[in-house]
Structure formats: C-alpha cells, structure tokens
Amino acid sequence: MTKNSIEFDPYIERKAFDETKQGVKGLVDAKITEIPRIFHHPQDILADKKPSVCVSNLEIPIIDFASVHVDTASREAVVEKVKYAVENWGFFQVINHGIPLNVLEEIKDAVRRFHEEDPELKKSYFSRDDANKKFVYNSNFDLYGSSPSVNWRDSFSCYIAPDPPAPEEIPETCRDAMFEYSKHVLSLGGLLFELLSEALGLKSETLKSMDCLKTLLMICHYYPPCPQPDLTLGITKHSDNSFLTLLLQDNIGGLQILHQDTWVDVSPLHGALVVNIGDFLQLITNDKFLSVEHRVLANRQGPRISVASFFSSSMRPNSRVYGPMKELVSEENPPKYRDITIKEYSKIFFEKGLDGTSHLSNIRI
C-alpha cells in the first residue's frame, strides 16, 4: 500500500465535505486555490473536453414555436422540425415558447439568491432524504453512490406537481419565482408532449394520457467559479431519468451533448429553453426518440445557474408499468426493452449515480 492511498480515503473525505452542509459554494467562500481530491476526475474523461474541429460548426437544432398555434400547416411544420431534432439529436433549443422573459430572469435570480444566502439559513434545508421532503438542498445527490468523482456544483430540488409543496415549505428567496415559473413549464410541457405525440404519428393526447406530464421535478443548479476547471466537471456524462427535460441556462455555457461520438457545445441563447428527451421516452418510443448523454464543464467564470425541469415521477410512488408503446411495435420492429416501473428504474439510476453509463442498456431485450 502506498503512502498516498493510506492518506486518501474518498468516503471519509466525501463525508467531511458533506457534513459542512455548505457545498461547493462553501469551498469557494473559503477562498481555496486548489480543489479537494474528491473532485478530481480521471484524466481520460477530461481529455476530450474540447469539441473536435471538424464539428465546431455543428449546432443543436433551434425551433421557433411562434407559429405553432397559427394554423394546421404551421403546426405540422413545427412537428416536422421537432421530429427531426428528437430522432437525430435528442436535443433542441426552443424560442418563442410563450414563457415571458421576465419569468425566466426571475427564476435564475431566485436560484442565485438561495445559493448565495447565509450558510446557516441554507443548512436548515440541507438533507439527503429526497423521499420525504418536498424541498431539498445538497451537493451531489450521488455523493455516496458509485460515481468515481464528485462534481463541482450545488443544487436544490423540489417536486412541484402533481402535489405542490405548501408555500412555507419553500424558502422565501425563491418561493414566488418557483411557483410562477413551474406554472409556465407545465403549460409548455403539455404542448411539447402534444407535438411529440404528433411526431410519432399518434393523437395529440397520447403521451399525456400515459402520465408523461403528471409529475414535475425541478432541480436548480449552482456551479461556482472553479479555480482548477481542468481537473473536474460540473456534471459527469449522463442521460436523464425522465420522459422529457426542459433546461433554462444562463449565459456562461458549459453544457455539451454527445452527438456522433463527439462533444458538441450547446451555446446559450438568450430567452431560449433547451429541451431534451429522457430515458423513459426512448424506452416507450422503442428507440425512435433518443435520450442523449450530456455533461457540464467546470469553468473559471461563474457562478453558472441552470434550472432543470424533469417530467418524471422518479422515486415517487407510481405503479404504472412502462414498455415500448403497442402502436410503435410490430413483427418487423419488435420491442427492444422489457417492461419496468419508473421507480424500479430510478432506484438503480440513483444507486449507481452519474457514472457515465445509461441504465437503458441494462433493460434491453
């Protein structure tokens, strides 16, 4: 045993970090110049950070929803663009989506306000008990999972539908903004599931009738500026444990998606939302729609703020069993996945943490 391995026990160091209840922000406030070893990522993961030159002009599709309610032809044109995006990219940015700019700005400000609150106030919301609390603040949900490294971000999460928390369960700094923003997200989510149903050649209400829209989990991330961004990541490579995810990001950037084995930057676009397909939608569409792996780089600039809205019941009670949709399978195109409940899927997702692999491969037939 080397001297170094005796000195470094990742579990003890993770626990010590966790017990401060101050997250990564606490490290930055302490003016560290070197990041703790638990945040160091393996070099092979960090080696491919820069998008390769030949695809530097690649951009995820940007879809304008301005005309979606104008007439049938305009809507069908939008559906075609959505279909192309989710079948080829798994991601797109949407503009003119109907959420007012001031609502987008206010939720970003609210997330920043909470994360920059007095540490003692934040500690009262600190928890690892996602199952029983409506509003949870911590750093790295998978801190004690099997992921090899800790990511450079703090987060708070809140199940906002179908059973919203009582107002007093949400900190005052972000309460009004969260209720207002989530109201718009549920409305836009409804439209997106209609367009996705139509992109499958099915009735508009099909995906909604399968409870895809029923549960909304908001996770609000805070990525402090990092003194050694080349040693760590904001979020490791992963695909989403959801049907669909809507992401609002600020202007700092750092989000990348894996497209044709190459990392592509998702450049911030003011007023836009990033939409991506989650694992459950890939499963029920039998691989027609793609749940694509993505990550966030650490950055010297910051803090970076992002608000991820996941349509997924995750670990909440939900007895519904999901498998490839009957309308989409045939003798020529048999089911590619076994049936599973979201809770069963999520349990493994959370136990393994963001280890860079998709759990979908484990339920393939």
3-class SS at 141?
A: coil
Residue 284 above 50 pLDDT?
yes
In terms of Cα–Cα distance, which of 313, 328, 360 is closest to 131? 313
- Non-local CB neighbours of 254 within 8 Å, separated by 6+ positions: 223, 234, 296, 297, 298, 299, 304
Spatial separation of the C-alpha atoms in residues 74 and 55, rounded to whole Å:
31
Phi-psi region of 245 (alpha: psi -120 to 50; beta: other; left: phi over 0): beta
Residues 6+ positions from 148 with CB-CB distance below 8 Å: 41, 42, 355
Confidence (pTM): 0.94
pLDDT at 353: 67
Is the Cβ–Cβ distance between 212 and 193 less than 8 Å? yes
The pLDDT of 313-324, averaged and rounded, is 84
Cβ–Cβ under 8 Å, residues 243 and 281: yes
Mean pLDDT of 28-41: 96
Pairing label, strands 262-265, 154-161: unpaired
Confidence category of residue 4, pLDDT binned at 50, 70, 90:
very low
Q: What angle do CA 356, 361, 364 make, to 5 degrees?
A: 170
172, 114 contact by CB (below 8 A): no
Report the pLDDT value the prediction gives residue 9, as an integer from 0 to 100: 83
Q: How far apart are CA 55 and CA 48, in angstroms?
A: 13
Q: Residue count of the chain, please give it.
A: 365
pLDDT at 2: 44
Phi, psi (degrees; rounded to nearest 5) at 341: -90, 155
pLDDT at 51: 55
Task: Give the pLDDT of residue 54.
Answer: 52
Strands 255-259 and 294-297: antiparallel
> CA 263 to CA 300: how far, in whole Å?
20
pLDDT at 190 over 90: yes
Contact at 8 Å (CB) between 216 and 184? no
Question: Residue 317 above 80 pLDDT?
Answer: no
Confidence band (pLDDT; 50, 70, 90) for 286?
very high
Q: Summarize pLDDT for 100-158 with one digit per residue, the tens.
A: 999 999 999 999 999 999 999 999 999 998 777 889 999 998 898 878 899 999 999 99
pLDDT score recorded for residue 60: 94
Q: How many CA atoms lie within 13 A of 281 on its CB side?
A: 32
Residue 336 main-chain phi, psi, to 5 deg:
-100, -10
Cα distance between residue 138 and residue 141, in whole Å: 7
Say what the pLDDT of residue 198 is: 98
Amino acid at 265: D
* Alpha helices (runs of H) in 89-128, residue ranges in sequence order: 101-115, 119-123
**Residues facing residue 247 across a β-bridge:** 274, 308
Please check whether residue 266 is in contact with residue 316, taking contact to mean a CB–CB distance below 8 angstroms: no
Q: What would the pLDDT profile of 228-253 be if each residue is shown by its tens digit?
A: 999 999 999 999 999 999 999 999 99
Residue that wins the pLDDT comparison between 216 and 147? 216
Pairwise CA distance, residues 201 & 238, whole Å: 29
Separation CA 152–CA 100 (nearest Å)? 30
Q: What percent of the chain has pLDDT over 90?
A: 79
Choice among 145-159, 183-197, 343-357 with the minimum mean pLDDT: 343-357
Determine the average pLDDT of the residues in 158-183: 96
pLDDT bin (cut points 50, 70, 90) of residue 58 is confident
